[in-house]
Amino acid sequence: MNPARLALEGTGTLVRFALRRDRIRLPVWIAVAAALVAEQSAGSQAIYDTPAALAAYRATVGASAAAIAFAGPPVGLTSVAGAVAFEISGSVMIVAALMAMFTTGRHSRADEEAGRTELVRSTEAGRHAPLAAAVAVSALGCVATAVAIGAVGTLTGLPAPGSFLLGAGVGACGLVFTGVTAVAAQLSGSTRAAYGLTGAVLGVAFLLRAVGDIEGSGLVWASPIGWAQAVHPFSDDRWWPLLLCVAALGILLVVSVRLLDHRDLGAGLLSGRPGAPAAGRLLATPLGLAVRLQRAALLGWAVSLVVLGAVYGSMGDTVESLFQDNPAAQAFLPGASGAGLVEAYLATIFSIDALLAAAFAVSSVLRARAEESAGRVEPVLAAATSRSAWLRSHVTVALLGSALLVVASGGATAAVRAASSGNAGSFGRLFAASLAYVPAVWALAGVAVAAVGVVPRAAAAVAWGTVGYVVVVSVFAPGLNWPRWVGDLSPFSWTPLVPVESWTTAAAAGLAAAVMALLAIGFGAFGRRDLTTG
Amino acid sequence: MSAAIAVSGLVKTFGATRALDGLDLEVTDGEVHGFLGPNGSGKSTTIRVLLGLLRPDSGSVRLLGGDPWHDAVALHRRLAYVPGDVTLWPQITGGEAIDLLGRLRGGLDPARRTELLERFDLDPTKKARSYSKGNRQKVALVAALASDVELLILDEPTSGLDPLMEAVFQEYIREIRDAGRTVLLSSHILAEAEALCDRVSIIRHGRTVQTGSLDELRHLTRTAISVETARPVTGLDGLPGVHDVAARDGRLRFDVDSDRLDDVLRHLTTFGVRALRSAPPTLEELFLRHYGDELAEDGVPVPAMTLSRPGRP
């Protein structure tokens, strides 16, 4: 047999095994992606049921830089189906990219880090088999997502060809990030770092297409999400941009295999320097340890959010010109001014930044649970550290870190907006407005703390489920026909949309009380329960 | 002498599993106490209760005069712990982890830290993710041995260490015992326990089945005798406490309950003893005595050594 075939020996067995391990996870990812499309399809068809409603929608969306920044290119809006694709494609593509990242990473670097790959490779499995299996499982997930989206689109009454093209775009985006993760898993020596690298690529890809779509420039072609959205389902129905995604996957796979061939098992290409022989002053307390464990992640988030904040702040002028160049929008929004739209745009930006900060806060609180689960908390608690001091250390990093992220991204947006509008005095007001979201961010961290205390094994599912719910309610619910109470459960709904609405002490006090109660529940339960590993 | 550890009637259940079922354990100040049992017998669960990581369902537990659940922080300043399976933070070096654990415990002796790193041949600049199991174990051992504490709780501390490092470990434990400090050494390496321990407790299915000094335990079991006499021995079978008599090559071999030794020797001397060898039971034999039935159930060919004695001499 030729060497390439030998290197792939055993891939089929590993694929079947990986599919068994992911028999819950993968269907959940696919169901989430399909459900988002189904819900959007049903919701949009109910809301834009008349040509007039659709025309109004077209006008306001065409003038909304915020909508374009988060959704995609404003094309195909002459039909309801096109509106569905515009609203949902960006979000579902991020879901697909994350599914691809976690699936590929879990079966490649994570297995290698845990030592399972060593065991597998000691059998007849070839050198490339574990990576090939990880890629194959992720790719199967992407294809299944594409088919599921096509099916639910068709079943909810959208044209079949466009539905399957939308699905294919989403799947193709997932394929590119399968390749990106495969390369990242070779470069970095840990799963966490591989996800960080892939997440950074995803962030940059999203930002490039956002700027490109708002400016209507060619910058979208620098982003794989831009390629996937360039299929323009339900309007131009182009298939050829998918070839770019497939070609990118091919190139990334060749690179990843080359990298794999040039490294030792267990090693990364970016790690391996010796470290400090003795601990610095920081590593002396539980808080110092928590800071040390989380500082790399916090730094990555901070840089990303500052860049995001600055880029979105710089788009303020475009918001005004989009509105002024759009007579239809002016007709539908009488009394609206360019300046008012900028404020509305900034309010949306601040809430999205806050959602990202909340994601950091939750992952940071869950770090405590990960430490417990891996057994690393035992030596710390077997030393003279109380349980509450240990949990407090991670919660402190989560609360102060997420507040820092809100401050940094809000500050960047406000500073860039103040500079580009020539109104230096607006900085203080905008910056203060961005801080209004801190209590809501902390409320999500509080949910995670309570979950770690009360239901440790389900903590990650509960906490991320809550974040997912808040994201759906904040981003999609305004365009859907959901009962009011569904949205009212979200702490982000309690927060006024500053700077458009004004900040209220009552809302902040209510959220602060909720945060205190959740922390008390979490700390109380953690102090009374057994430690659980695994 | 007061008790560093006093556990009685300790019960801990996990769902339907009864991990500890009325366990008793008493460790006196200044002794090295062996805590023996196979995997799954409840050693680690007991230790995690002693460290306040698990909450007992019932029974009384005293550690250094305090309650391990409520007084955890104050007590932990006075003890050091080495787990059997050390997990470290992948991105933190061994040297950093040693300092961190030492500082969290209230400080460690830098000179002793340097000496221990050298004796255990550990590179402190490596990130924990690149350490082997043995090296991770050394990190926890150095951190514990470099701390000036009254009590060391060691849960299979030498798993993964090579024989050279095992010897270094034993040397340090003897030094600690000579300094009057207390050690609880959980182990299933019986040679290690035999070499180090003043007293041992053997546990099974979450219960203590035997506890005492090695001499006391030996007394409860049988000694193997091999004797050569001038005249053929008669009447041995009829003596109480004598088992498995066999004659071969002019020698007589048998086991005798240790508390019947005196009577049996008196009887033998009447036949003109020419040569005599006696072997006390090893800890392994003591241990297997409590587990022999389990091995037999599993179809493992069990040794004569468990229930009756092998002709060792």
- If asked whether residues B230 and B154 sit together in one domain, one would say no
- If asked whether residues B111 and B248 sit together in one domain, one would say no
pLDDT in tens, B288-309: 777 766 666 666 654 443 333 3
3-class state of residue B112 by DSSP: helix
- Residues in B closer than 8 angstroms to A378, CB to CB, are 48, 51, 53, 83
What tokens appear for B306 in the block? 């468990």
Nearest residue of A to residue B54 by CA position?
Answer: A530
Among the partner-chain residues B74, B88, B104, the one whose CB lies closest to the CB of A383 is B104
Among the three residues B213, B230, B257, which one is the final residue of a domain in this structure?
B213
Nearest residue of B to residue A193 by CA position?
Answer: B91
Q: Give whole-number Cα distances, A448 to A360, A365, A393, A402, B188, in Å.
A: 11, 6, 15, 13, 40
- Residues in A closer than 8 angstroms to B105, CB to CB, are 383-384
Give the CA radius of gyration of chain B: 23
Is A333 a residue whose pLDDT tops 80?
no
Is A334 a residue whose pLDDT tops 70?
no
Q: What is d(CA B33, CA B41) in angstroms, rounded to the nearest whole number?
A: 17
Cβ pair A292:B92 closer than 8 A? yes
- Residues in A closer than 8 angstroms to B54, CB to CB, are 530-531
Among the partner-chain residues A189, A275, A385, the one whose CB lies closest to the CB of B93 is A275
Q: What is d(CA A229, CA A243) in angstroms, rounded to the nearest whole number?
A: 13
Q: Which residues from A are below 8 Å from B when comparing CB atoms?
A: 113, 189-190, 271-272, 274-280, 283-286, 288-289, 292-293, 296, 374-376, 378-387, 528-531
Question: How near does any CA of chain A get to the CA of B96, in Å?
Answer: 4
Cβ pair B73:A384 closer than 8 A? yes
pLDDT in tens, A337-364: 777 778 888 888 898 899 999 999 999 9
Is A219 a residue whose pLDDT tops 50?
yes
- If asked whether residues B208 and B78 sit together in one domain, one would say yes
Average pLDDT over residues A294-304: 92
Bigger pLDDT: A316 vs A463: A463
Q: What is d(CA B105, CA B75) in angstroms, rounded to the nearest whole number?
A: 10
- If asked whether residues B258 and B150 sit together in one domain, one would say no
Query: Who contacts A393 (Cβ-Cβ below 8 Å, separation ≥6)?
Result: A285, A286, A287, A289, A290
- Residues in B closer than 8 angstroms to A286, CB to CB, are 104
Q: What distance, in Å, lies between the first and last C-alpha atoms of chain A? A: 42
Question: So what's the pLDDT on residue B310?
Answer: 37
Among the three residues B188, B213, B238, which one is the final residue of a domain in this structure?
B213
Total H helices, total E strands in chain B: 11, 13
Give the CA radius of gyration of chain A: 24
Q: What is d(CA A526, CA B114) in angstroms, rounded to the nearest whole number?
A: 37
Question: How many residues does the structure list for chain B?
Answer: 313
Confirm or reject contact between B70 and chain A (CB < 8 A). no
Q: Give whole-number Cα distances, B276 to B217, B240, B253, B267, in Å.
A: 23, 20, 10, 13
Q: What is d(CA A93, CA A95) in angstroms, rounded to the nearest whole number?
A: 5
Q: Give whole-number Cα distances, A346 to A74, A495, B106, B219, in Å.
A: 20, 15, 50, 84
Question: So what's the pLDDT on residue B238?
Answer: 85
- If asked whether residues B160 and B285 sit together in one domain, one would say no
- If asked whether residues B230 and B134 sit together in one domain, one would say no
> Confidence class of residue B90 from pLDDT cuts 50, 70 and 90?
confident
Q: Provide the ipTM.
A: 0.77
Q: Give whole-number Cα distances, B51 to A330, A529, B28, B71, B73, in Å.
A: 70, 14, 17, 10, 10
In this structure, are residues B137 and B160 in contact, taking their beta carbons and an 8 Å threshold? yes
Question: So what's the pLDDT on residue B18?
Answer: 93
Question: So what's the pLDDT on residue A332?
Answer: 63
Among the three residues B194, B213, B232, which one is the final residue of a domain in this structure?
B213
| Domain enclosing residue B263, as ranges | 220-313
Confirm or reject contact between B95 and chain A (CB < 8 A). yes
pLDDT in tens, A488-528: 888 888 888 777 788 888 889 999 999 999 999 999 999 99
Average pLDDT over residues A286-310: 93
> Confidence class of residue B117 from pLDDT cuts 50, 70 and 90?
very high
Cβ pair B93:A276 closer than 8 A? yes
Cβ pair A283:B103 closer than 8 A? yes
Of A288, A368, A400, the closest CA to residue B92 belongs to A288
- If asked whether residues B89 and B140 sit together in one domain, one would say yes
Cβ pair A276:B55 closer than 8 A? no
Average pLDDT over residues A453-467: 95
pLDDT in tens, A424-447: 888 988 898 888 999 999 999 999
Q: What is d(CA A314, CA A418) in angstroms, rounded to the nearest whole number?
A: 9
In this structure, are residues A300 and B121 in contact, taking their beta carbons and an 8 Å threshold? no
Read off the pTM.
Answer: 0.82
CB atoms within 10 A of CB B263: 15
- If asked whether residues B158 and B21 sit together in one domain, one would say yes
Cβ pair B129:A190 closer than 8 A? yes
Average pLDDT over residues B82-102: 91
- If asked whether residues B198 and B224 sit together in one domain, one would say no
Cβ pair B72:A113 closer than 8 A? no
Query: Who contacts B299 (Cβ-Cβ below 8 Å, separation ≥6)?
Result: none
Bigger pLDDT: A62 vs A239: A239
Q: Give whole-number Cα distances, B111 to A289, B28, B115, B145, B146, in Å.
A: 24, 29, 6, 12, 9
Q: What is d(CA B36, CA B200) in angstroms, rounded to the nearest whole number?
A: 7
Cβ pair A274:B125 closer than 8 A? yes
Bigger pLDDT: A328 vs A442: A442
At A287, give phi and psi (nearest 5°).
-65, -40
- If asked whether residues B202 and B297 sit together in one domain, one would say no
Q: How many domains does chain B have?
A: 2
pLDDT in tens, A109-162: 999 988 888 888 888 888 999 999 999 999 999 999 999 999 999 999 999 999
Bigger pLDDT: B304 vs A173: A173
Amino acid, res. A120: V
Burial readout A118-151 (b: 16 or more C-beta within 10 A, e: otherwise) = eebbeeebbbbbbbbbbbbbbbbbbbbbbbbbbb
Average pLDDT over residues A385-390: 94
Burial readout B136-155 (b: 16 or more C-beta within 10 A, e: otherwise) = bbbbbbbbbbbbebbbbbbb
In this structure, are residues A260 and B78 in contact, taking their beta carbons and an 8 Å threshold? no
What tokens appear for A242 in the block? 């998918």
- If asked whether residues B162 and B282 sit together in one domain, one would say no
In this structure, are residues B39 and B188 in contact, taking their beta carbons and an 8 Å threshold? yes
Q: What is d(CA A63, CA A325) in angstroms, rounded to the nearest whole number?
A: 8
Question: So what's the pLDDT on residue A98?
Answer: 96
Confirm or reject contact between B92 and chain A (CB < 8 A). yes
Q: What is d(CA B297, CA B177) in angstroms, rounded to the nearest whole number?
A: 39
Average pLDDT over residues B280-284: 75
Confirm or reject contact between B39 and chain A (CB < 8 A). no
User: Which secondary-structure segment (H or E) carries A32?
Assistant: helix A25-47
Cβ pair B96:A272 closer than 8 A? no
Question: How near does any CA of chain A get to the CA of B281, in Å?
Answer: 37
Q: Which of B13, B45, B104 to mutate to test the interface with A (most CBs of A within 10 A)?
A: B104
Q: What is d(CA A214, CA A202) in angstroms, rounded to the nearest whole number?
A: 18
DSSP 8-state secondary structure symbol assigned to residue A476? I
Q: Which of B70, B75, B91 to mutate to test the interface with A (most CBs of A within 10 A)?
A: B91
Amino acid, res. A233: P
Is A248 a residue whose pLDDT tops 80?
yes
Burial of B176 (0-12, 13-18, 19+ CB in 10 A): middle
CB atoms within 10 A of CB A290: 24
Question: How near does any CA of chain A get to the CA of B64, in Å?
Answer: 14
